[in-house]
Structure 1
Amino acid sequence: MKTRSLLIGFILTTLFISAKAQQYVSPTTPPQTGRSPGVKVKLISSNSSTKTYCLVFAEGDEILSGLKEFAVKYKVTSAHFVGIGDAGSSKFGWYDKTRKMFKVNELHNFAEITSLAGDITLSKGNPVVHAHINLATEDGLVHGGHLLEAFVNPTLQVIVTVEPIPLYKRLDEASGIMIIDPDLKK
C-alpha cells in the first residue's frame, strides 16, 4: 500500500510539473537596454568603409542589451557578428510556427557559449539585433536557438563587422517574424 501511495504521489507530481504553463514570447519583442555596463569596444580593422570591432563583455552583462547599445552608439545600419564565451543563465527560443511565437527554453546554470552568430539591421530607423546561440552544459549536451536573453559569466568576446550599405527588416505577415528585405530603402 505504501508503494502504491508513493507511486501515485510521483505520478501526480510529474503531472503537475508537466502541466506548468510553457512561456512564449513575441518574435518582435526588442531587447531591454541598460543591462551591459561592462562592455568594452575596440576597433580592430578598418578598410574603406567596412569596420571590424571586438566587443568584450564583462560578468553580468546581458548580451542583446550590449549589442543593441553598441549598434545605437556606433550608428550601425548593417552588421554581422560571431562570438564565444560563457553564460551564467540564458533564455533561448524555438519558433512555434502555429503560434507565431518563440517557445522559451532556459538554462539557469553555467554554460559555455560555443557559438553566437547574428546580424544587426534597421527597422523603422532603429537597430534590430538578431542572434542565435549554442550553449554547452557540463554533460556535453548543446542547447540552442534564437537568443532571447543571456547573462555573461565570466566573459564573452564578439567580433562585429559593420558594413557600409544599410539593410532593413520588415514584418513578414505569413510567418510573423522580422525578415531582411534587400529591396527596402528605409
Structure 2
Amino acid sequence: MRVSFFQHLAATALLVASSALATQAQDYISLTTGKPVELGKAPNMKVKLLSTSGQVKTYVLIFSKGDEIVSGLTEFAQKYNVKSAHYQAIGDALSVKVGVFDYGRKAFKVIPFNDPIEVTSLTGDVAVYNGKPVAHTHVNLATFDGLLHGGHLFELVSGPTVELFVTVEPTPLYKKLNTEFDAAIIDPELTK
C-alpha cells in the first residue's frame, strides 16, 4: 500500500501534536511532599537469602509480570528492617516512570514510558528517613530503537521479570532534609 504525501503529512502532524501534548501533560514530583510509596503492589515478588558474611547479607528479589518494583523493594526493606543497603538489577518492564531533577522547581519532571522497555541497568541504595527505610533508585532503559533513557525511578511495572540483587550492610545510614534542593540526602555523620 502506497502512502500519499498528504497522508504522510497528516500522520507527521498528528505525531508532533501528540508529542507536544504528552510533553505538556508531564507532571512534577517533589520527593519530600509527594505521596508515599504504596505497598502491596508486588504480590508475586519472591525473596531468597543468597549469602551471609558476618553481618552482611545478600538477597535476590525476583519480580514477576505486573509487580511494581518500587513498592516491592520498599516492602522488602521494611519487612527485613533494612537500614543500609545497595542493589542492582536487570530485566524488562511493561511501563516505567522516571524523573529528571529540575533545580528551579526543586522537583522531578516525570517522563513516562508506556510501552514495553528493556531495563539495562537499575541501581540504588536504602537509607533511613523519618524512621523508615527509603529506596533511592536510578534506572537506564533501552527502547526498541536502541536508544537509552534514564533517570530517578518512580514506578516500574515488571515485564516477564526483573532480577534485583540486594546487599544489606550492618551499619545504618540516615538521611536528612537538604533545604537547598528540598531533598533527603544521606548524611554519614547521622546516627539516628
Between stretches 29-38 and 99-108, larger displacement belongs to: 29-38
Which whole-Å CA distance do the structure 2 matches of 1:48 and 1:90 have between them?
36
Q: Secondary structure at the match of 2:93?
A: strand
Deviation at 1:52, TM superposition (A): 0.2
Return the TM-score normalized by structure 1.
0.90
In 2, Cα distance between the equivalents of 1:19 and 1:163?
40
Aligned counterpart, 1:126: 132
- Alpha-carbon distance between aligned partners in 2 of 1:22 and 1:125, rounded to the nearest angstrom: 31
Return the alpha-carbon distance in structure 2 between the equivalents of residues 59 and 183 of structure 1. Answer: 40
Question: For residues 139-172 of structure 1, what are the alpha-carbon distances to aligned partners after superposition, in whole Å with 9 as ceiling and x for unaligned?
Answer: 0011110001010001000000000000001110
**Which residues of 2 match residues 45-64 of structure 1 at below 5 A?**
45-64=51-70
The structure 2 residue matched to 1:25, chosen from 15, 29, 43, is: 29
Q: Residue 105 of structure 2 corresponds to which residue in structure 1?
A: 99
Q: Percent identity?
A: 50
Letter in 2 for 1:110: P
Q: Deviation per CA, 1:33-83, whole angstroms, max 9, x where unpaired? A: 110011101111101100000110011000100000000111101000000
More displaced, 90-99 or 23-32? 23-32
CA distance in structure 2 between the partners assigned to 1:148 and 1:18 by the alignment: 18
**Correspondence 1:35-184 to 2 at 5 A:** 35-184=41-190
Q: 1:18 to 1:112 in 2, by over 3 A?
A: closer
Q: Provide the rounded CA distance (Å) in 2 between the counterparts of 1:117 and 1:17.
A: 31
AA in 1 matched with 2:38? Q
The DSSP-based 3-state class of the residue aligned with 1:20 is helix
Structure 1 residue 18: Cα displacement: 6.8
Unaligned runs of 5+ in 1: none
Cα distance change, pair 126–19 in 1 and its aligned pair in 2 (3 A): closer
Aligned length: 179
Question: Residue 3 of structure 2 aligns with which residue?
Answer: none
Rounded to whole Å, the distance in 2 between the matches of 1:153 and 1:144 is 17
Relative to structure 1, the CA distance from residue 47 to residue 110 in structure 2 (aligned partners, 3 Å threshold; closer, same or farther) is same
Moved over 2 A (4+): 13-22
In the alignment, the residues of structure 2 paired with residue 72 and residue 175 of structure 1 have an alpha-carbon distance, to the nearest angstrom, of: 26
Q: CA deviation at 1:22?
A: 2.8
One-letter amino acid of the counterpart of residue 27, structure 1: L
